Amino acid sequence: MSSVAVIDYGMGNLHSVSKALEFVEPGVEVRVTSDPALVASADRVILPGVGAMRDCMAEMLKAGVDKEVTDAINSGKPFLGICVGMQALLESSEENSGVDCLSHFKGQVKYFGDDLQEDGERLKVPHMGWNEVAQMTDHPLWNEIEDGSRFYFVHSYYVEAEDRDLVSGVCRYGNQFDVALARENVFAVQFHPEKSSKAGLQLLKNFLNWDGKI
């Protein structure tokens, strides 16, 4: 039986993620846990996250999740970061006057700003709701998902990756920003696949059937 560890450090939408995984693949063993042994023995690992980056990073370091994430990524097993779980993989975030992150991807997490505009119209921050995602690479996690499909977002900060070759998906809200990063066995998304209806569930299904190779 396939197993997936959803890392619990007290800051993720764990119930929705675990239920979505069980829905797309009945029989999958979902471990919502911070136990290093359970994370290490799982076939796949997901790092979710919601809330302020300062609090998320503090809880990760307190629980030893930083090491669990590094070990999981280095193991070569499929790894998925979601929302703040994606942002945490970058080097730093502008949130909370600046927060150091886990530095698995070079780049920063930036604030949309208080005067975000599109075609002369002021946009609300946070960016909340459905938006189109343009696929920048041919990745296994995009299988059977149409380019330009809409996913659900809730965030005030966005990712700007330094290495543009890692960008697998982008979105536009006032400006273009990175919403999916991919490298070897790691895939990370800004949107919430567990809340993104058909396209999001297909992405989770793809993840559960992915061997971690591009």
Active centre residues (catalytic): 83, 192, 194
**CA–CA dist 178, 2 (Å, integer):** 30
Query: Which residue reads 């567990």 in tokens?
Result: 194
Token digits of residue 130: 């459905």
Q: If DSSP codes are grouped into helix, strand and coil, which group holds residue 131?
A: strand
**CA–CA dist 51, 31 (Å, integer):** 22
CB 153 within 8 A of CB 170: no
Peptide bond before residue 36 is cis, with ω within 30 degrees of 0: no
Q: Residue 143 gets which letter from DSSP?
A: T
